[in-house]
Amino acid sequence: MNFHVLTLFPEMIAQGVGTSITGRAMDKGLISVNAVNIRDFAGNKHGQVDDYPYGGGAGMVMQPGPVYRSYESVVEKIGYKPRVVYMTPQGKVFNQKMAEEFAGEKDLVFLCGHYEGIDERVLDMIVTDHVSIGDYVLTGGELPSMVMIDCISRLVPGVLHNDVSAEFESFQDNLLEYPQYTRPAEFEGVKVPDILLSGDHAKVDQWRREQSLKRTLERRPDLLEEAVLDEADKKYLESIC
């Protein structure tokens, strides 16, 4: 999968995704990240890409020309018009389901705004999706685009080396993950739950399922509305309510 990021801070993107699991996925050729510097398309020798807002008001607005030309450079490179995600707190809030949908694309373009925003005309021309990563305001779209790249990349086959695919992880069915333990079996006087040392896989599975249910009820009860629960799950939840 190929990610293209239209940004005024390409070095931020390269640094952010070039490390750890996404960095390894890039080395393996499973994903690519093409950070396109909008300033390279300024069209003037000063490299100016923003100007005062018509109608007045605080701050600066990114001009349409440089953004449009940076987008066209990507279209030319890949030979078709891809989905373009504009990172904005005014967008639909990103979640795992959206990540799965985006993971089906061959190329995905992220447009990162700065200052007071981007001239509306170019947004109308190229943007297919407006996406936010949550209800708070950031200084620009770079961190949000990296959040999305990280989340989508781990759904690309081969990126996670687990034998169990990311598809089957707990969040998928709207339950939080059960707690994990490793050696030592006793730490500062606190023991690992006995059941995990029992070797009884059915019992371990049942314990983990119950821990997931308990944790979701305590921390994210809103998720339970969408969770797929069988009779045993419901009985367990009733027993701890």
List interacting residues with ligand 6GU (CB under 6 A): 87-89, 132-134, 136-138, 140-141, 144
- What's the min distance (Å) between Cβ of 154 and ligand 6GU? 19
Dihedrals φ, ψ of 37, to 5°? -80, 110
Nearer to ligand 6GU, 74 or 133 (CB): 133
Measured CA to CA in angstroms, residue 225 lies from 175, 177, 202, 220, 229 at distances of: 10, 17, 26, 10, 10
Nearer to ligand 6GU, 35 or 213 (CB): 35
- What's the min distance (Å) between Cβ of 204 and ligand 6GU? 39
Residues 119, 136: Cα–Cα separation, whole Å: 22
Nearer to ligand 6GU, 87 or 175 (CB): 87
Q: Return the amino acid letter for 238.
A: E
Q: Helix, strand or coil for residue 141? A: coil
- What's the min distance (Å) between Cβ of 138 and ligand 6GU? 4
Going by their DSSP bridges, the two strands 2-7 and 61-62 should be labelled as: unpaired
Closest CA to 106 of 130, 82, 90, 126: 82
Q: Return the amino acid letter for 208.
A: R
- What's the min distance (Å) between Cβ of 161 and ligand 6GU? 30
- What's the min distance (Å) between Cβ of 205 and ligand 6GU? 37
- What's the min distance (Å) between Cβ of 8 and ligand 6GU? 13
Nearer to ligand 6GU, 44 or 139 (CB): 139
Residue 183 CB burial class (10 angstroms; 0-12, 13-18, ≥19): exposed
Quick one: which H or E segment has residue 13? helix 10-17
Nearer to ligand 6GU, 143 or 156 (CB): 143
Nearer to ligand 6GU, 94 or 236 (CB): 94
